[in-house]
Amino acid sequence: MTFVQLIECRTSRFDEMNRLIDTWLEQTGGKRTATHALVGKDRSDRAHIVEMVEFPSYEEAMRNSNLPETDEIFRGMVALCDEMPTFIDLEVVRDERLYDDTVRRFFDTLAGAGELPPLNDLIDEDCHSHDPITPQTTIGLDTIRREFRMWRDAFDSAFTLEDVLAQDDRACARWSWKATHKGEFLGIAPTGRQVTMTGTTLFHFGADGKITELWWQHDHLGLLQQLGALDELET
C-alpha cells in the first residue's frame, strides 16, 4: 500500500534547507526509495514549511529512513528549524489521478455529436500539437480545433481507450478508432468505407490542468490503405 510521510517545520532559513535537500539527493542517488516528493510554503505563514514524501509502501519508507545519509540530513534539518519538526505517517486509502479524467473527456469530446465545442476548458490557448500527418507543429487552440474539425468532417468516428497512464504532469493514452468515411480527407473523396486505426497520444499538462502539448502516433499508412488511396501504387 502506498505510504506518504508528511513533515512540517518552521524555519527562517529555507534557502539553506533547500541546499541541504539537494545535497541529500546527490548523496542518496540510486539508494533512496521515495517515488515523489513535494515541498510547499504556507501562503499565510512563510516560515511554515510542509514536505510530502511518497513511498511504494511503509516498509520502503523505513528502508529509506535507515540510510546513513537520511540520519545526517535529519540532524541538519533540525539545526535549521526554529522548533522540532513533526512527522505524520499516512497510508494512502484513495488516490485519484485527475488527468485520467481529462484525457477521457478529451477523446469523448473529439468524437461527440454536433458542433465541436470550444475546448478552452481542456486545451491551453498556446497548445502545441505534433501529428505525423502534418509536417509542421500545429500551434494554438484555434488552429488545433480546425485540424480536429477536418477529421470530424471526413469521418463519423468513435474512440475506445485501451489504456491511460498518468505520471506527474504527463499522461499517455493507447486508443483504437472506428469510423465511417463520409467526407473528403486529404484529397480522397468520400468512400463510405468502415475503417479502423490504432494509436497513442502523449499529453503534457500545464499548472492549470489544461493540455499544453500533444504528441500523436497512429497508423496513418494503414488508414490510407483502407481508403483505397494506395491501390494505384500497389499495382
pLDDT tens, position by position, 6-35: 999 999 999 998 898 888 788 887 777 888
Query: Using CA atoms, how far apart are residues 64 and 37, in angstroms rounded to an integer?
Result: 13
* pLDDT number for residue 229: 87
Query: Using CA atoms, how far apart are residues 37 and 52, in angstroms rounded to an integer?
Result: 6
- Return the percentage of the chain with pLDDT > 90, whole number: 67
Average pLDDT over residues 60-84: 89
For residue 96, is pLDDT > 90? no
Higher pLDDT, 148 or 69: 148
pLDDT digits (tens, 9 = 90+) for 208-222: 889 999 999 999 999
Which residue range forms the structural domain that includes residue 81? 3-91
Query: Using CA atoms, how far apart are residues 198 and 218, in angstroms rounded to an integer?
Result: 6
* pLDDT number for residue 180: 97
- CATH code where residue 33 lies: 3.30.70.100
pLDDT digits (tens, 9 = 90+) for 129-179: 999 988 899 999 999 999 999 999 999 999 999 999 988 889 999 999 999
Higher pLDDT, 69 or 215: 215
> Chain-wide mean pLDDT for the chain?
91
Predicted confidence band at 74 (pLDDT cuts at 50, 70, 90)? confident
* Residues 106 and 205 grouped into a single domain: yes
Q: Confirm if 13 and 80 have CB atoms less than 8 A apart.
A: yes
Nearest-CA neighbor of 82 among 37, 46, 39? 46
Average pLDDT over residues 65-69: 86
* Residues 108 and 191 grouped into a single domain: yes
Which of 91, 110, 142 is a domain's end point? Answer: 91
* pLDDT number for residue 50: 95
Query: Using CA atoms, how far apart are residues 107 and 13, in angstroms rounded to an integer?
Result: 47
- CA-based torsion, 98, 123, 223, 233: positive or negative: negative
For residue 52, is pLDDT > 90? yes
* Residues 81 and 109 grouped into a single domain: no
Q: Confirm if 197 and 177 have CB atoms less than 8 A apart.
A: yes
For residue 118, is pLDDT > 90? yes
The interaxial angle of helices 14-27 and 68-80, nearest 10 deg, is 180
* pLDDT number for residue 93: 86
Starting at the edge strand that comes first in sequence, how are the strands of the sheet with 86-91 ordered? Answer: 36-42, 45-55, 3-10, 86-91
The interaxial angle of helices 141-154 and 98-110, nearest 10 deg, is 50
- CATH code where residue 175 lies: 3.10.450.50
Query: Using CA atoms, how far apart are residues 158 and 139, in angstroms rounded to an integer?
Result: 25
Average pLDDT over residues 42-53: 93
Which of 66, 91, 116 is a domain's end point? Answer: 91
Which of 47, 65, 91 is a domain's end point? Answer: 91
Cell of 117: 465545442
